[in-house]
Amino acid sequence: MQKIVFDDPYEFVPPHCGNIWPRVLGLLLAPILKKSYGVVDVECRGTALLQESLTAGHGIILAANHCRPGDPFVMGLLARQMSTNLHLMASWSVFKQSRLQTFVARRVGAFSVYREGMDRASLNQAIDTLVDARRPLVIFPEGVISRANDRLGGLMDGTAFMARQAARKRAKKNPDAKVVIHPVAVKYQFLGNLNESIEPVLKQIEDRFTWGSQSHFGLFNRITHIGAALIALKEIEFLGEPQTGSVHNRVGRLVDHLLMPLEAEWMRKPQNGDVVTRVKNLRTAILPDMVEGDITDEERDRRWRQLADLYLAQQLWFYPAEYVAEDSPAERILETVERFEEDLTDTTQIHAQLKAIVQVGDAIEVGTDRPERGLDDPLMVALKNAIKSMLESLASEVNQQARGDSSR
């Protein structure tokens, strides 16, 4: 399990607001993307739309999908191309890895958000950033890294809340001042040799299962076999034996088996919503006593086991149904193998070469009126539809290009 949840008392980490450090560190963005994430090229589109908002002095949110760990660096290159600096809302776990990482993250404009509870300091920082309108604010509203570039997860409603709060504050100062959200779609295109890149990973996993050589099965069958083995292992661990049915249905049943007893204990009833939201709500309920220290060591260990189950449930849910088929694009196959590797080892190898296409969408003006209760927030609906539409268009473009290359 990756270390993304902590039982230390939360302390807000504010951003560094100077302009010199972002410019200096901006020179390192491209080398870091290449060395650490395999991204060798970043193409930015729709920059004229963003420039229009910058020139108008709007408070700007850049709301992007989040499918890879290198996404913040990609957004940094977008800002560098626009000759502007950014503020970024980043999980507190980013600042808990090392002093160097905290130093760098702060100086490029990142500030922490505590996803396991209320974080008024982070919310106020985000609102002030939009009211001041000195820098765009980058938010990844999915709240997690999906490793499924062609699927957009549920978006956290907090994006709309902070945007409206800032819009109201700006309107009080100047009725003509606006807050806008630019949807941003980040699509990765794999430029390398897929077989050469993932063959060593597949072999390592198969060796770990004590299997003989599987190379005669072909990529799709090998991936299918590994996926079936992984879900069967977890079913044996938690249910006593492998289950029947489609892999997607089995994953759903296992996720409910992990979450529903915890929801009965901590939430008093089954919860609605997607798995990411259910996991977030349970973490918010489980962690406070651990942070306060008012529990026995035995109880702390029990809760850590529960948090590990939550992590597993969320990881399982990130395998979208019917995401990989025999004719799937290279990018989907690569993402699935990366997910296997991450779930088994907590790390992934660098698979070069990747190109990131960053598409900035039309500005969505943020109103000041509260949305009607009981209905989906129209601002979030518009944002999700815009990102999803751009991702679908980019996926179609990349797939057509790949088919054209293979036919030559």
State both tokens at 180: 């806008």
Q: Could you report how far apart the first and last alpha carbons of the chain are, in Å?
A: 44
Instruction: Give residue 362's pLDDT.
Output: 98
What's the pTM value of the predicted model, to 2 decimals? 0.95
Instruction: Give residue 217's pLDDT.
Output: 94
Domains of the chain from N-terminus onward: 20-191+352-407 (3.40.1130.10), 194-345 (no CATH)
pLDDT in tens, the chain (408 residues): 788 899 999 999 999 999 999 999 999 999 999 999 999 999 999 999 999 999 999 999 999 999 999 999 999 999 999 999 999 999 999 999 999 999 999 999 999 999 998 899 999 999 999 999 999 999 999 999 999 999 999 999 899 999 999 999 999 999 999 999 999 999 999 999 999 999 999 999 999 999 999 999 999 999 999 999 999 999 999 999 999 999 999 999 999 999 999 999 999 888 888 899 999 999 999 999 999 998 999 999 999 999 999 999 999 999 998 899 999 999 999 999 999 999 999 999 998 899 999 999 999 999 999 888 888 999 999 999 999 999 999 999 999 998 876 655
Distance CA 126, CA 120 (A): 10
Distance CA 12, CA 121 (A): 7
Place of tokens 């920082």: 125
Distance CA 46, CA 319 (A): 31
Helix axes 330-345, 219-239, angle to 10 degrees: 30
Element (H, E) at 195: helix 194-208
* Non-local CB neighbours of 12 within 8 Å, separated by 6+ positions: 111, 112, 114, 119, 121, 122, 125
Helices (H) and strands (E) in the chain, counts: 14, 8
